[in-house]
Amino acid sequence: MPKRFLAILFGEYNYAGITQVAVQLAIKLRETFDITLICRRIVRKVEEGVEIIELRPKTTLELWKMLGKTVDQFDIVHTHDVYTLPGLLRRKRKARIIYTDHGIVPMKYSRIASIPGTLFAHFCRLFSPRADLTVGISDYIVDELRQIGCQSVVKIPNGIDTEKFRPISEPEKILKLKCGNPMLLKVGLIEMHKAIDYHIASMPFILKKFPEARLVFIGTGRDLAYYRAKVKALRLDRVIHFIGWVPHEIMPLYYNAADIVLAVDYCHSFGLPILEGMACGKPVIARNGYAMREHVLNSRAGVLVQGENPREVATAVDQIMDNYDFYSSRAREYAKLFDWGVIAAQYRKVYESVLAES
């Protein structure tokens, strides 16, 4: 049987979470499908040996027109970009459309300048019930999709590479990255909705119990300069470090150097750093809400906090360090459930099911 043609769409190629999903799906499924990756623009590309088309539309309307011309070249169009939905679903089509929803930051956690874009994202999301199938990456997202009328919806979480993200037994590889005892690691955008203020505010309380503790932030974002200046003004720059962007292949070393991964974000639709840290055997402290809550409750590999009083984090660090081996062993076992081989098989089944219906 000839290969079926599959297009995987996403927004910016920046090797953040959604980019990883698209690229890893293409790698895992290219033996079964003839796959084309399509993105709006390439910001930072990591060579994976996967061909990709960059559209570079000047406006969203131009994006929709471009998609209208290309969509019927494929048997399946699988989009991870909410802004593409009106262009894909407003007309009759031959291709089957699958939409994976990665969540929208709630309005109360959006900066004022981002509110128009957030409202537009919610408008585009209203087209998702017209897709042949919608996918939610967590129970939280599945519930949101059902609330807006999606009938054909399944849960398929994002995956991780458990061969790349694993405990490293050679201490010399991570020794130069190690700082503090314990070393606390926060990975992700350095922006308001990631509760950077809250993480910073927790550090004085942590230091009272663990004077040698250090907090390391990895990631970039619109607020990076602001938070660096704030930490310096608080005279915490000796114990709080902003590393900036780190190549993806280096990230397992940082996770292994750390003792605990922090993810007390105001909101998170999935929590990829939680799973990457757990895959390296690291316990997690996360907010008791959204998808973060699901991971900690299902794994018992960490501690949940309410995310309101920064003293909570100090108590959680103490709790984990007192029983570290238990949390660490649970972390690695749970992360294996999200190996890309497992997740790709779930998507393969979904693709075949949708094609069979056509």
The torsion angles phi and psi of 321, rounded to 5 degrees, stand at: -65, -25
Which residues are registered as beta bridge partners of 33?
4
Is 227 inside a domain boundary? yes
Q: Does residue 165 belong to any structural domain of this protein?
A: no
Domain of residue 201, residue span:
171-338
What is the full DSSP assignment across 154-210? EE----B-TTTSS----GGGTGGG--SSSEEEEES--SGGGTHHHHHHHHHHHHHH-
Same domain, 239 and 128: no
Residue 60 lies in a domain: yes
Whether residue 194 is found in the same domain as residue 320: yes
Residues 181 and 311 in one domain: yes
Is the separation of the CB atoms in 305 and 287 below 8 Å? yes
CA distance 60 to 285: 38
Residues 23 and 111 in one domain: yes
Q: Give the C-alpha separation, 119 to 106, whole Å.
A: 10
User: Is residue 348 located within the same domain as residue 240?
Assistant: no
193 and 242 fall within a common domain:
yes
- The answer on 254 and 345 residing in a single domain is no
| DSSP H or E stretch at residue 98 | strand 96-101
| Same structural domain, 207 and 298 | yes
Instruction: Give the pLDDT confidence score for residue 47 in this predicted structure.
Output: 58
179 in the same domain as 101:
no
d(CA 177, CA 258): 9
In a domain, 216, yes or no: yes
Number of domain units in the chain:
2
| The model's pTM | 0.93
Tens-binned pLDDT, residue by residue, of the chain (358 aa) = 578 999 999 998 887 788 889 999 999 998 899 999 999 998 876 656 677 889 999 999 999 999 987 788 899 999 999 999 999 997 677 899 999 999 998 888 887 878 899 999 999 999 999 999 999 999 999 999 999 999 999 999 999 999 999 999 877 878 889 999 999 999 999 998 899 999 999 999 999 999 999 999 999 999 999 999 999 999 999 999 999 999 888 999 999 999 999 999 999 899 999 999 999 999 999 999 999 999 999 999 999 999 999 999 999 999 999 999 999 999 999 999 999 999 999 999 999 999 998 6
CATH number for the domain harbouring residue 206: 3.40.50.2000
Q: Please indicate, yes or no, if residue 313 is contained in any of the structural domains.
A: yes
Residue 106 is assigned to a structural domain of this protein: yes
Q: Looking at the structure, do residues 153 and 110 belong to the same domain, yes or no?
A: yes
| Residues 144 and 195 reside in one and the same domain | no
The C-alpha atoms of residue 234 and residue 76 are separated, in whole angstroms, by 53
* Residue in 56, 55, 46, 54 with CA at minimum distance from that of residue 23: 46
d(CA 139, CA 155): 7
Residue 344 in domain: yes
**Token digits of residue 215:** 């907090």
Please give the order of strands across the beta sheet that includes 284-287. 240-244, 214-218, 183-187, 260-263, 284-287, 302-305
Helix axes 311-322, 196-209, angle to 10 degrees: 60
